Amino acid sequence: MTIRVLLADDQALLRGTFRLLIDSCADMQVVGEATNGQEAVDLARTHHPDVVLMDIRMPGTDGLAATATICDDPGLSGTRVLVLTMFESEEYVAKALRIGASGFLGKYVTTDVLLAGIRTVAAGEALLSPGATRALITRFLTAPATAPGALLAPPERLNDLTPRERQVTALAAEGNSNDEIAEQLVLSVLTVRTHIQRALTKLGARDRAQLVVIAYQTGLVRPTRAV
């Protein structure tokens, strides 16, 4: 299955570089290029890509506003947003994840990391973030949410989860991969994926990234300060 990618960046040189890189992969294809956030939204609605590679700072509608619009559109429920930017501040990362982005990478990443990131986000299996993932989550995703709709799920929704689903969700929120969770709980990776999928459905999360946000916002996982 070919992963359909939409590029959103106001720099033509970067878009051209990303297109050459992505189109050189047998399992990927660039389906469109946007120079600002509004174009990204319009092209996403036209092409329904699997992944939008989204810059943050663009003229007019910026990448965060575009990400929020795409993630809130029921017609784009199958589209994931991977934010790729030079401005890798923790504040940007936290906001991007809160509004529905499935991943966040700095533009300095290597080719292999970028391509792996696109594949991972397309599969919906892991939360991507810059180096200190755990530090980012514990410091920012638990901050009080003041914007309307910022709280993705009320704490009482946790009651819908079975004890095992809560356990698996908590481990995922702490940054563990499916393989690591399976090893810790002595389960098969397939069983872990099943628990993750059921938790996604019950909590109304669109992907693993939102599941992590919900776990911290509801208090299922408590913040710890990273050194």
Q: How many domains does the chain have?
A: 2
Q: Are residues 76 and 167 in the same domain?
A: no
pLDDT at 140: 54
| pLDDT tens, position by position, 62-112 | 999 999 999 999 999 899 999 887 765 666 777 777 788 888 887 778 898
Sign of the dihedral defined by the CA atoms of residues 168, 172, 175, 179, in that order: positive
Lowest mean pLDDT among 12-16, 62-66, 87-91, 212-216: 87-91
Quick one: pLDDT band at residue 198, thresholds 50, 70, 90? very high
Domain C-terminal end among 71, 105, 131: 131
| pLDDT tens, position by position, 128-140 | 443 435 545 555 5
Domain that holds residue 34: 3-131
Does 138 fall in a domain? Answer: no
| pLDDT above 70: residue 47 | yes
pTM for this prediction? 0.71
